């Protein structure tokens, strides 16, 4: 059975005091929900976030990690460092990592394998750019992103994978994929996984939609049968908006 998930990707926002304040407000306002709720603050505030959410069901997750165990990788963070402060879920492959930090499918495949080797859960992000969609290549691009980073995994690894389809043209732009576009792509993703593995893996993996999800459009997007939740950027920085999105699921 796949789970419903609403995750907030805070990106490079919120200092320590702001992080603690937002998390305290979120924990207090968290509605009753079957969905898993996650937040990804910036690295320097992760340990404090875990502490602040000690008695909350909200899970703190990381925005990124390096594939090496340890060593001379200035500025990087390892899986063990995350596990050591109580974090066992990591976002890998966000389009901003791909676009601004040169993360290729090959690097992402290594990161996914490194996280799984430590028994971490991976929230793997992917999605086409506007030109891909305009030229009708969006299915091909998504298929190759999945294949290059994930399709060499063992079938048993898939229990630790969450997918986040995030069309790049919808991230932070205020432009959202229509619920129909999201559903169409999510169904295509399940079909692609069925062909590479089998229907049970495809049906059991949670596929989140990300890209300008707001309180005003969340109900419609989450209402689609193959959409299992959302990865939320901007709207996750405002407690009332994030709570409204959690209620939508």
State how far the Cα of 121 lies from the Cα of 162, in Å rounded to an integer. Answer: 8
- Concerning whether 138 is annotated as a catalytic residue, the answer is no
231 binds ligand PGA (CB under 6 A): yes
Total number of residues that touch ligand PGA (CB under 6 A): 13
171 binds ligand PGA (CB under 6 A): yes
Q: Which stretch binds ligand PGA (CB under 6 A): 31-39, 56-64, 107-115, 164-172?
A: 164-172
Q: Which stretch binds ligand PGA (CB under 6 A): 53-61, 73-81, 128-136, 229-237?
A: 229-237
229 binds ligand PGA (CB under 6 A): no
Q: Which stretch binds ligand PGA (CB under 6 A): 13-21, 39-47, 67-75, 208-216?
A: 208-216
210 binds ligand PGA (CB under 6 A): yes
Among 3, 29, 135, 172, indicate the residue that binds ligand PGA (CB under 6 A): 172
Burial of 74 (0-12, 13-18, 19+ CB in 10 A): exposed
128 binds ligand PGA (CB under 6 A): no
State how far the Cα of 164 lies from the Cα of 208, in Å rounded to an integer. Answer: 4
182 binds ligand PGA (CB under 6 A): no
| Catalytic, out of 94, 138, 143, 186 | 94
| Catalytic, out of 20, 59, 128, 166 | 166
- Concerning whether 143 is annotated as a catalytic residue, the answer is no
211 binds ligand PGA (CB under 6 A): yes
Contact (Cβ atoms closer than 8 angstroms) between residue 6 and residue 38: yes
Annotated binding site for substrate: 9-11, 172, 212, 233-234
DSSP annotation string for 80-107? HHHHHTT--EEEE--HHHHHHH---HHH
Interface positions with ligand PGA (CB under 6 A): 9, 166, 171-172, 210-213, 231-235
Active site residues: 94, 166
């Amino acid at each position: 059975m796949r789970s419903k998930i609403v995750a907030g990707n805070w990106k490079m926002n919120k200092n320590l005091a702001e992080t603690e304040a937002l998390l305290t407000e979120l924990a207090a306002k968290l509605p009753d929900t079957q969905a898993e709720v996650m937040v990804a603050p910036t690295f320097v505030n992760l340990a404090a976030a875990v502490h602040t959410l000690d008695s909350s069901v909200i899970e703190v997750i990381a925005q990124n990690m390096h594939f090496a165990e340890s060593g001379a990788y200035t500025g990087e963070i390892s899986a063990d460092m995350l596990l050591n402060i109580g974090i066992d879920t990591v976002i890998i492959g966000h389009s901003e990592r791909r676009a601004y930090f040169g993360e290729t499918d090959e690097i992402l495949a290594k990161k996914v394998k490194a996280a799984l080797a430590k028994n971490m859960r991976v929230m793997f992000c992917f999605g086409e750019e506007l030109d891909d969609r305009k030229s009708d290549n969006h299915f091909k691009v998504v298929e190759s992103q999945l294949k290059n980073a994930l399709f060499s995994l063992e079938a048993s690894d898939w229990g630790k994978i969450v997918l986040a389809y995030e069309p790049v043209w919808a991230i932070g732009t205020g432009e959202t994929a229509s619920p129909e576009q999201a559903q169409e792509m999510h169904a295509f993703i399940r079909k692609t996984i069925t062909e590479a593995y089998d229907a049970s893996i495809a049906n059991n993996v949670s596929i989140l939609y990300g890209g300008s999800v707001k309180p005003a459009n969340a109900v419609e997007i989450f209402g689609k049968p193959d959409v299992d939740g959302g990865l939320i950027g901007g709207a996750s920085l405002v407690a009332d908006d994030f709570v409204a999105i959690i209620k939508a699921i």
